[in-house]
Structures are given as C-alpha cells and as structure tokens.
A and B are shown apart, each in its own frame.
Chain A
Amino acid sequence: DVKVTQSSRYLVKRTGEKVFLECVQDMDHENMFWYRQDPGLGLRLIYFSYDVKMKEKGDIPEGYSVSREKKERFSLILESASTNQTSMYLCATQLPSKRAEQFFGPGTRLTVL
C-alpha cells in the first residue's frame, strides 16, 4: 500500500510568514506533485518533480517554491504567505509511467490570516 503523509492536517499562519508544507512517501515513487484545491476550481497543479533536485512549474507556481533533496520528500514553500493562499494543499506521488495513477496524501488545510 502506498502511504503518502503530509506534515500537518491543519495550519494557521499570518500574512508574510514563511510556510513549509512537507510531504513524505514510502513507495519509492519518482514523481511527486503539489496541488491546491479550492471550491469551484478543482485541483490545480502548483509544482511537480520527476526526480531528486528536479522541479517543474505547474499551472499556478506564483508565490510558491519547492524543494526535493531526497526521493521520498517533497516540500512546498510559501516564501511570504498571503491571504489568497488560504486553501487545501494536496501532495501526490506517481510511478513514472504515463498511465500510472496518482496517490494522494490527506491534505493540509492552510489558513493565512
């Protein structure tokens, strides 16, 4: 069974703070993704990584950065949190096959005040 864990289920931060969201997987998957889910907008891809130290921008990378120093860990960083980054953040992993499903973590509900 694939296990994808996210560091926090709920997080409250203040505007301007630096925020780290961590995602860890135990299945040796090369591909990892960060999404945000907002009502009426579905899941939108922020960043993804195909391997250690590799990253690519998704559809909405502005205001975010990522880090992948180890294969099992993919971090999402909000350099200076803003209220419009209040959202549900979801991490996913995937084997590098174009037909492979993505496995999601439980999500982090981030509120920026």
Chain B
Amino acid sequence: DQQVKQNSPSLSVQEGRISILNCDYTNSMFDYFLWYKKYPAEGPTFLISISSIKDKNEDGRFTVFLNKSAKHLSLHIVPSQPGDSAVYFCAASVHTDKLIFGTGTRLQVFP
C-alpha cells in the first residue's frame, strides 16, 4: 500500500517556465514532508521541507505547498533551469525519523 504517491512519472518543462511536481498521501498522521532531488549515479539530496502546521515554505526558486484537507503536496520551481533536470522524490514522516518516500517524478527542463 503506497502511502505517498507521485502519479506523474515524468514532466517536461521549458527553461524559464514554472515546474510543478505533485505528491499525494493517504496517512493523515504525517506531520512533516520533504522533497529530495536525485541526479543519475548520485544519492538523493535534500531540497526543501515543510511542517504540517504550515501551508507554504519558500527557499529561493523552490516553494513547497501543503494542502492538508486534500492530502496533497506540491513543489514549484520558478524559473526552471536545465540543471534542475533530475528525479524528484517527496517523502513524509509521522513523528519519527523514518521517512516514507514516493515513487519519484523525472523532470526534464529543455532550452
């Protein structure tokens, strides 16, 4: 049973435009959410996080939005750059250090 789902396996966006990556979850007990970025042949790297007491967190070009009623999380990248091309994983936790990861979305940013 996949508690964290990323329903779009891939996304293609033109450089300079907005990239929106989506994540849905089923467990209403999740209280902390993270996004990781993964390049080929490298381990995932932490990008941005949000606590369930907030609905938005921003860090430079990256903004994460949380809609608890819809159990939906999204990552916005504005403006998108070719270096943003990677696989993005959302992850969630319930009061613990254990993370539950989604299946990933491959983002391609083209010139």
Contact = CB atoms under 8 A, between A and B. Distances in A.
A45 B98 contact: yes
Contacts of A70: none
Nearest to B6: A42
A76 to B, nearest CB: 15
A43 B44 contact: yes
Of A42, A44, A45, A58, chain B has the most CB atoms within 10 Å of the CB of A42
Contacts of B6: 42
Given A31-B97, A98-B97, A40 B9 contact: yes
Interface of B: 4, 6, 9, 32, 34, 41-46, 49, 51, 89, 91, 93, 95-99, 101-104
A110 B104 CA distance: 20
Contacts of B101: 35, 42-44
Contacts of B96: 98
Contacts of A35: 101
B46 A101 contact: yes
Of B45, B89, B98, B103, chain A has the most CB atoms within 10 Å of the CB of B98
A104 B49 contact: no
A107 B103 contact: no
Given A40-B9, A42-B103, A9 B46 contact: no
A48 interface: yes
Task: Place the interface of chain A in its size category.
Answer: 20 to 34
B40 to A, nearest CB: 10
A104 B97 contact: no
Interface in A75-113: 90-92, 94, 96-107
Contact of A104 (B32, B41, B45, B104): B45
A102 B42 contact: no
Given A42-B103, A43-B101, A101-B46, A106 B41 contact: yes
Contact of B43 (A40, A41, A96, A107): A107
